[in-house]
Amino acid sequence: MRLKNRLKEWRAKRDVSQQQLADAIGMSRQTINSIERGKFVPSILSVIKIARFFTTSIENLFYVEEEK
């Protein structure tokens, strides 16, 4: 199983840059980039902060993809 995300789509919908998101939740832009690319799995606290920033549920931003 792999944790996937829709952060890039949500940022585009809201016209938010990686830097703006990072500043708002106390992360680096590089970390946001790594999360979006699936290279870094964020902590549950970070996931909650991101969901709150976008005023949506965690499930709208993150999902699990079954490996084939």
Element (DSSP H or E) covering residue 3 = strand 2-5
Residues 6 or more apart whose CB falls under 8 angstroms from that of 31 comprise 22, 40, 42
State the number of CA atoms in the 13 A half-sphere of 5 facing the CB: 21
- Residue 21: the pLDDT is 98
Digit-coded pLDDT (tens) for 12-47:
999 999 999 999 999 999 999 999 999 999 999 999
Single pTM value for the model? 0.90
Confidence grade of residue 63 (pLDDT, cut at 50, 70, 90): very high
Which range among 41-45, 57-61, 63-67 shows the weakest confidence by mean pLDDT? 63-67
The CATH number given to 2-65 is 1.10.260.40
Using the predicted structure, report yes or no on whether residue 68 has a pLDDT greater than 80. no
